[in-house]
């Protein structure tokens, strides 16, 4: 499939997990992919892997919360490749989720750090990619939200607040720039088994998600990459401002479904 031929796609957090899969998927389908990640070891590695597969990738070691660096990145990409067609705002400060309890116990520094990583990063990348997209009269932005930004949880307060803000950023951008050819959507995964989640997550956690999913399994990074690629493409030309759950049906079903299934 070469549907992204001639298109330039920026994937933030593209050196690991879902971003890495998105970078591979868009590159395989013809895009020139820019991996923008703060991970100085894995960014060149993923760039090399994509190039070895015969596709086009360029790694930039960038912290997306640094406005000067983000502005420079967007200028560099547009000068070097001539355009920015896709922005996948995927990077997030996931290291802070380990210190993210209920609201009464939440440290202010964890909240502000989470908002910086998860909201300021996508905001800055969007703000500085938009002038390029507006000048060319087209662009598709895909933000990485989460079911945690749509449903209440017993912990992960800062994370949930930040992902709800990402959903609102999505609607604002879709509303403000739709008539000028820019679409903006979000994807809301539930549990996706990346290298990082597999490392830290207790087995019981995965069991809870599996039990409460309507599918027999939890998510794989490629499940999310497929939806991101669709939203990024012209096949989704009539979709904007929406949040697409990629969650095995968790956000669709009654919260007592797992218990009722056990009873039956
Ligand atoms: N894994 C899940 O179960 C899950 C579920 C729902 C939503 N999400 C969301 O999906 C996205 C990707 O998650 P993942 O599990 O693949 O993460 P991951 O930890 O595997 O990868 C995240 C990448 O983002 C990069 N990054 C983080 N902060 C950055 C910054 N400030 N500047 C540049 N790069 C930065 C990291 O270096 C890393 O390469 C995140 O937005 C996350 O909140 C994940």
Q: Is-contact 147 161, C-beta < 8 A?
A: no
For residue 62, give the ligand 1 atom closest to its CA: 33
Q: Alpha carbon 150 to chain centroid distance? A: 15
**Which pLDDT belongs to residue 91?**
98
For the beta sheet containing 139-144, the strands, ordered from the edge strand earlier in sequence to the opposite edge, are 56-61, 32-37, 8-12, 86-89, 139-144, 182-189, 243-246
**CA angle centred on 104, ends 100 and 105, rounded to 5°:** 45
Q: CA-to-CA distance for 209 and 129, rounded, in angstroms?
A: 36
What residues are labeled active site? 159
Q: CA-to-CA distance for 17 and 193, rounded, in angstroms?
A: 8
Q: Is-contact 115 106, C-beta < 8 A?
A: no
Secondary structure letter of residue 58 according to DSSP: E
* For ligand 1, atom 37: residue with the closest CA: 39
Distance 146 CA to ligand 1 centre (A): 11
pLDDT tens-place values along the chain, 264 residues long: 689 999 999 999 999 999 999 999 999 999 999 999 999 999 999 999 999 999 999 999 999 999 999 999 999 999 999 999 999 999 999 999 999 999 999 999 999 999 999 999 999 999 999 999 999 999 999 999 999 999 999 999 999 999 999 999 999 999 999 999 999 999 999 999 999 898 888 889 999 999 999 999 999 999 999 999 999 999 999 999 999 999 999 999 999 999 999 999
Nearest to 77 by CA among 8, 23, 7, 3: 8
Q: Where are the domains of the chain?
A: 8-263
For residue 64, give the ligand 1 atom closest to its CA: 32
3-state helix, strand, coil split of the chain in percent (to 5) is 55, 15, 30
Q: Which CATH superfamily is domain 8-263 in?
A: NAD(P)-binding Rossmann-like Domain (3.40.50.720)
**Other CB atoms within 10 A of residue 22 CB:** 32
Rounded to the nearest 5°, which phi and psi values hold at 140?
-130, 125
Q: CA-to-CA distance for 138 and 130, rounded, in angstroms?
A: 10
Substitution candidate for ligand 1 out of 92, 97, 210, 223 with most atoms within 8 A of CB = 92
Distance 91 CA to ligand 1 centre (A): 4
Return the SS3 of 120: helix
Name the burial class of residue 207, with classes exposed (0-12), middle (13-18) and buried (19+) by CB atoms within 10 angstroms of its CB.
exposed
Return the SS3 of 174: helix
**Which pLDDT belongs to residue 21?**
98
Instruction: List Cα–Cα distances, 126 to 100, 143, 169, 233, in angstroms.
Output: 26, 10, 9, 17
Residue list, ligand 1 pocket, CB within 6 Å: 12-13, 15-19, 37-39, 62-65, 90-94, 117, 121, 144, 146, 189, 191-192, 194, 196-197
**Which pLDDT belongs to residue 200?**
83
For residue 144, give the ligand 1 atom closest to its CA: 41
**Which pLDDT belongs to residue 166?**
99
**Which pLDDT belongs to residue 199?**
84
Q: How far apart are the first and last CA of the chain?
A: 45
Q: Could you read off the pLDDT of 218-245 as tens digits, one per residue?
A: 999 999 999 999 999 999 999 999 999 9
Q: Could you read off the pLDDT of 100-126 as tens digits, one per residue?
A: 999 999 999 999 999 999 999 999 999
Substitution candidate for ligand 1 out of 18, 25, 46 with most atoms within 8 A of CB = 18
* For ligand 1, atom 32: residue with the closest CA: 63
Instruction: List Cα–Cα distances, 110 to 50, 95, 152, 153, 184, in angstroms.
Output: 35, 10, 18, 17, 28
Distance 13 CA to ligand 1 centre (A): 6
Q: CA-to-CA distance for 84 and 10, rounded, in angstroms?
A: 7
């Amino acid at each position: 499939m070469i549907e992204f031929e001639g298109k330039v796609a920026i994937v933030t957090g593209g050196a690991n997990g879902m971003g890495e899969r998105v970078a591979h998927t868009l590159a395989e389908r013809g895009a020139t992919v820019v991996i923008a990640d703060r991970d100085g070891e894995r960014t060149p590695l993923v760039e090399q892997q994509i190039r070895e597969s015969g596709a086009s990738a360029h790694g930039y070691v960038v912290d997306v919360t640094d406005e000067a660096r983000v502005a420079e990145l967007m200028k560099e990409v547009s000068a070097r490749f001539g355009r920015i067609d896709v922005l996948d705002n995927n990077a997030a400060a996931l290291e802070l989720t380990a210190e993210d309890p209920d609201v009464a116990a939440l440290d202010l520094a964890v909240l502000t750090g989470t908002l910086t990583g998860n909201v300021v990063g996508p905001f800055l990348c969007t703000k500085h990619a938009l002038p390029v997209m507006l000048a060319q009269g087209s662009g598709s932005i895909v933000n990485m939200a989460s079911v945690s930004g749509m449903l209440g949880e017993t912990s992960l307060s800062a994370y949930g607040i930040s992902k709800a803000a990402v959903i609102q950023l999505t609607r604002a951008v879709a509303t403000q720039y739709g008539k000028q050819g820019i679409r903006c959507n979000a994807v809301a995964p539930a549990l996706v088994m990346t290298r990082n989640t597999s490392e830290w997550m207790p087995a019981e956690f995965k069991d809870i998600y599996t039990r409460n999913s309507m599918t027999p399994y939890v998510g794989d990074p490629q499940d999310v990459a497929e939806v991101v690629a669709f939203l990024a493409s012209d096949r989704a030309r009539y979709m904007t401002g929406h949040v697409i759950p990629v969650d095995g049906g968790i956000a669709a079903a009654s919260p007592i479904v797992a218990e009722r299934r056990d009873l039956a």
